[in-house]
Amino acid sequence: MKNKLLILLVIFSCLSLSTHGYSASAAKNPFRTSILLPIGMNQQPIMKIAIAQNVDQINLKFNTIFTLVDIETGKLLANRLTFKDVSLKGSEKGIHINDKIFNARNVRLMSQDKLVQVRERVYRSNLIIIKDEKNKLTLINEIPIEDYLKGVLPMEVSPRWNMEALKAQAVAARTFALFQALNANPESPFFLKRDVSSQVYAGKTVENFRTSEAVNLTRGQILTYRGAVFPAYFHSACGGKTTSADSVWGVWKHPSLGGVQCGFCRGTKHYTWKKEMSFQDMKLKLAKEKIKIGAIQKVQILDRDRSGRVESVNVVHSTGVKKIKGSTFRRIMGYDIFRSTLVELKSASGSLLKIVGNGWGHGVGMCQWGTKVMADKVFRYEQILRFYYPSSQVTQAYSSPKGSRISGTISNWWTSLKGLIS
Ligand SMILES: [Zn+2]
């Protein structure tokens, strides 16, 4: 029972942290918010998600035999490897799999049952291993987007929610992932990370029949605005109003990411909250970011955006005043303390900051708790998505749930995009 409770707590803390930010590391243009949907897309794209980065050694488990291919030369390095437990590491000589050394820098591992366990989690499909010049390894899960989404949804929303809310989440997450793939830098070996900096992904281990059903029922469906894909951000709860992507990250303005009056999340569990933080803790956190200031006396809100979120603050201290952008201040203080920037601040007794806030997350795009309430009020997923992403359309990008194909030119557009598929 205790263990079950612990697992539930872990799951809920993950849900509450589903506040993905903007992952600029692998992006070709970190400011872009619109990419035309290629014509004639007829197959599901392959995602590449970094599941471990810069590790010296890592353990894998297999149930079945697996093969090893050198990605650079296309050469089959080993067929029918029978190790169940694998210790993986890199050296000057190449990639080590237990006592065998393979002279390669980038390899693809494919098991017969299409499953591989990395640390505590099982992942579907293939594993790509990249060894850098320092012999550190990066592990990438190479997986069709539909299977990928089945490992995302249970981490982002509760599988117990109404099916229409789960379907809305599936379409938003598919759109977000597709945008990141299309906007990926060709030199980057992966499009997404597995944490809140992209969207949380935990592989086959967390799959649930209800969230997987929501993925299947919306297969191939994405959001577009005038035929273009946009990064369909979402967050846990907006606290009343959502805000615009450009005001939070300085990205290009987008009509579907401008913010709406939500209200549906009113009364749900993250709608209002209170936190405290000592000035001493704040000073330490700022120092870690190389922001050196004197003894903090108070924190003042300078300005707010149209949704009421704090755009910038003044930290008044013994030797001056430091102005900090609201979203930067939230990141530095920690997303668990500053759950949002929709806050009122009160400096108490010269040593403590009292924070009263609304919502959890960056506040851009879909409000997940609002989605839950809308679905409970019998809104359909297309209506929910159009509400949170105004002027957007649900578009069938590739084969529909019934297996029908979109009409038009059937060109293999996906493989023509260099670096997106191997
Ligand atoms: Zn809301």
Q: What is the pLDDT of residues 63-94, one digit of tens each?
A: 999 999 999 999 999 998 999 999 999 999 99
The encoded tokens of residue 216 equal 């299947």
Confidence of residue 187 (pLDDT cuts 50, 70, 90): confident
Q: What is the pLDDT of residue 25?
A: 56
Ligand 1 mean position, distance from CA 150 (Å) = 24
What end-to-end distance do the CA atoms of the chain give, in Å?
45
- Residue 292 makes CB contacts below 8 A (sequence gap 6+) with 286
Ligand 1 mean position, distance from CA 358 (Å) = 10
- Shortest CA distance to 119 belongs to which of 85, 153, 95? 85
- Residue range 193-240, pLDDT digits in tens: 988 777 899 999 999 999 999 999 999 999 999 999 999 999 999 999
User: CB atoms < 10 A from the CB of 331, how many?
Assistant: 15
Residue owning tokens 């990419």: 35
Ligand 1 mean position, distance from CA 311 (Å) = 19
Q: In what order do the strands lie in the sheet with 66-70?
A: 76-81, 66-70, 106-111, 126-131, 137-144, 46-55, 192-193
Ligand 1 mean position, distance from CA 219 (Å) = 26
Burial status of residue 353 (CB atoms within 10 A of its CB: 0-12, 13-18, 19 or more)? buried
Ligand 1 mean position, distance from CA 368 (Å) = 7
CB 356 within 8 A of CB 239: no
| C-alpha to C-alpha distances, 8 to 55, 81, 158, 204, nearest whole angstrom | 29, 37, 11, 18
Ligand 1 mean position, distance from CA 366 (Å) = 8
pTM: 0.88
Q: Is the model's pLDDT at 416 over the cut of 70?
A: no
Confidence of residue 402 (pLDDT cuts 50, 70, 90): low
* Mean predicted lDDT score pLDDT of the chain: 88
Higher pLDDT, 49 or 26: 49
Q: Is the model's pLDDT at 409 over the cut of 60?
A: no
Question: For residues 60 and 81, what is the distance between their CA atoms, to the nearest angstrom?
Answer: 13
Ligand 1 mean position, distance from CA 123 (Å) = 33
Q: What is the pLDDT of residue 386?
A: 97
Range 387-393 average pLDDT:
97
Ligand 1 mean position, distance from CA 268 (Å) = 9
Ligand 1 mean position, distance from CA 137 (Å) = 40
Question: At residue 177, what are phi and psi to the nearest 5 degrees?
Answer: -65, -45
Ligand 1 mean position, distance from CA 365 (Å) = 10
Ligand 1 mean position, distance from CA 388 (Å) = 9
CB 384 within 8 A of CB 170: no
Ligand 1 mean position, distance from CA 288 (Å) = 33
- Residue range 127-154, pLDDT digits in tens: 999 999 999 999 999 999 999 999 999 9
Ligand 1 mean position, distance from CA 180 (Å) = 25
Q: Is the model's pLDDT at 122 over the cut of 60?
A: yes
Q: What is the pLDDT of residue 406?
A: 33
Confidence of residue 401 (pLDDT cuts 50, 70, 90): low
Task: Report the percentage of the chain scoring pLDDT > 90.
Answer: 79
Ligand 1 mean position, distance from CA 169 (Å) = 14
Ligand 1 mean position, distance from CA 91 (Å) = 50
Confidence of residue 13 (pLDDT cuts 50, 70, 90): very low
Range 156-162 average pLDDT:
97
- Residue range 27-65, pLDDT digits in tens: 888 899 999 887 777 789 999 999 999 999 999 999 999
Q: Is the model's pLDDT at 378 over the cut of 60?
A: yes
Q: Is the model's pLDDT at 257 over the cut of 90?
A: yes
Q: 3-class SS at 145?
A: helix
- Residue range 287-297, pLDDT digits in tens: 999 999 999 99
Ligand 1 mean position, distance from CA 359 (Å) = 7
Question: For residues 89 and 256, what is the distance between their CA atoms, to the nearest angstrom?
Answer: 45
Task: Report the percentage of the chain scoring pLDDT > 70.
Answer: 88
Q: What is the pLDDT of residue 20?
A: 47
Q: 3-class SS at 320?
A: strand
Ligand 1 mean position, distance from CA 269 (Å) = 11
Q: What is the pLDDT of residue 43?
A: 85
Bridge-based pairing of strands 366-367 and 234-235 is parallel
Ligand 1 mean position, distance from CA 34 (Å) = 24
Instruction: Give the angle 122-124-125 at the CA atoms, nearest 5°.
Output: 140
Question: At residue 206, what are phi and psi to the nearest 5 degrees?
Answer: -100, 0
Q: Is the model's pLDDT at 16 over the cut of 80?
A: no
Ligand 1 mean position, distance from CA 6 (Å) = 28
- Shortest CA distance to 280 belongs to which of 296, 258, 266? 296
Question: At residue 171, what are phi and psi to the nearest 5 degrees?
Answer: -65, -40
